[in-house]
A and B are shown apart, each in its own frame.
Chain A
Amino acid sequence: MARDLQNFLKQLDDDELIEIDRPVKPHEFEATALLKQLEDRRQYPAVQFNRPTDMYGNASPFPLVSNVYATRERCARMLDVDPATPNWEVSLAFAKKSKAQQKSVAVERRAAPVQQNVWRGKDADVGRLPMVRHFEMDFGPVITMTHVMRSLEGHYNVSFAKTFYKWDPHEMVVSLHTRDNTRIVREHEKAGKPTRIVNVLGHHPAFHLGSVARNEWGDDDYATLGAFIGEPMRLVPSVTWGDEFMVPADAEIVIEGELPSGKKDLCDPFGEVARLYQAQCLRPVLEVKAMTFRDGAIMQDIFSGFRDSCPFGAVLKEGHLWNVLHEKFPNLHQIHSPDSTCGVYAVYVSMKDIQPGQAQEIGRLILESFIVIQCVIVVDADIDVFNEQEVMWAFHTYTNLEKGFQTKGNWEQARHVRHAGEGSGKAPQSGFATSNWGARAVIDATKPQDFAFGERSQVPKDVMERVNLDDYLAPSRARMPVGAK
């Protein structure tokens, strides 16, 4: 069975995927209104809208699926982890896969589902897609999925960027922001060449989750993503550039386009992953060359800033920081970036038998690893970093607010990154840096060891293990929802 989006969705239980058959208008906020109401009820199923409208208000040929990443249990499934252990095990799986590689394989066009249908030239009308306008101040409907670019040296880079609809069937604006795709655009502009770019609107969810893994310049992201989806990526020559640019054969929908050198237009505001609107700005124009899609293709979207986007920041931080820190700190226990900060601004770290100075040192290294992190809270290993209530208890109980709070101000690198198409010199970062103050904090919330301190109350561990709640509850009561009387 191919590792693709539709086979993944088929594996989900009824309570993990709901289908909505009534027509919805995603470009008029109706999809996100429904997702928000589910989230308000603390329900996080993946949602497939079977009859969304396109940009003309007509029925789109493509269903729309969103909220796929909204639970760590589903992220566990994506990464071949038991959903019953969705926390640290998912972090470790991401850490392991981001260091592995599986060489891709090329397939012929007739074996590539994504090219079962090909729209070229004037037929390649992106307005037929059920693009989502997510939030009130948004610039307009937007595609939230990953892009593939290729450097002049020949390696493929896969990363997230938003693609904005411009009320034009063949031209969009792409909000590139990562270090590598910015560099690829700059090098093409310097060489006087348009930058080729492919927008992948749905694949096996591990493809998109793995695309946030941090690779070195020159690494082949397709090989990394093979490790994430658990088999070699099947690639097929693009319909526009042939084997000079290979595209994922098992994707749902692909847009092939080019960024003409130096051509920009307005995009944003957009409600970003950290729940703030990104400011209106100028970004490269994407000229659409072709759209290809499989029979029965489903377009995927991310509900940005809500539970659906949290794992992209959280699991990345947890896995990457484990990879870079666990050898230096053998007593490092677990790492978590909580949903309360959208998996962006905070990291909680637990340490076994922490030594003097370690909280500040590991906090400093974490802040240096991710410029968006504002706050690191270090706790003991008996505090579950995936349980924010426990972390807050440790903070309010153990932290000496006079000595345990380390702040560092005016981190220049936290406030400036360079964007695609910009010239030399620094440029301000749009997006989640809108609230990035530059000053950052490391909070030592480990239990004081240098003087006699109280003990956290506990039910004896052996009794907790011996006495099982389910064995003591009547069946009807065992099913009672939390909080019911």
Chain B
Amino acid sequence: MRKRALRIRPTAWTAVIAALACLFGAAAQAQQPICSAWLIESSRFMNVPFGSFMPDRAFVPGSTKPESNIPTVDLPVNIGVIKCGSELILYDTGWKQQDYLKMTGSEHWAPLPDQLKVLGFNAADVTKVVIGHAHWDHAGQLSDLPNAVLYVQREELKSIEWALNYPEPHIRAVNSDPGGCNRTPACGYMPLTIEEVYGKVLKGKAVIVDGETEILPGVRIHPAFRAHTAGSQLLEVPTSIGKLVFGSDAFSSYEGIRDWMTANVQQTDTVQQFLAYEKCYKITGGYSNCVAAHEPLSYTDKYPLTKNSWVALNGGRMAEIALAPGEKSRKP
């Protein structure tokens, strides 16, 4: 009896391969949690000259051009709150107003633990803190998050220490030097902020990151060195509205990312900042899901990602960006 060879048509092969791909793809996605995300306005820097924030938007008296007719802007200091299953992650932590640190010109500050409570979270439940960089207005309040593990780039820490020991005083200048420091390599790193970072290190609650790393399935730190500071880092987060990329001051301005303009130039290589923008475009498929730290249009329709917003403590605003399936809305 002659055996009949099993013959499968090419179209059938294609269908089988496609079905398997779908199956494994869905399984892989099922393993990757979908996270929820909110944005908290930690405080707001008022009446900042637009040109000092975005050089290409400098005010020109008498100009009617939209890019040069706005003299000052109010800059929010945004903190990302990310919930992935049982993990509660913060991206940046703002700064801590005190009797001794009022930061003239800043308004709407409220303690981070109180702001988290508004969202229904306890500060003690925060499991991870990723700081985009260690400047004083982004890495404060760490000691109010007792159980959180801090993620900071080694490059960030090493570059500050290098700068502090640099022989030329103009290059090693810090905020207390005559004339301040503006954009010197160790500028903006307040002793108290660095002590908070050191506190986490001492308690064994710090991970010193070298470049890219995944802190949870699908939640990935991307280095953005010199996009704002030497060791800036981004955070990719999978959500129900697609991937988000939190950028801290590498993404200071949403308009900057959209229109390819540099913003908040500190220890910044503007080329690296553009490459960080590009990273967000590549990861998320555009500019809409790039989360900016100081965008003046935050919490308005003009920055659609953050438009689902409300006013919370002390006039500070919050936004609900994305909810995972089954996650309840925290918007009052």
Q: A and B: partners?
A: no
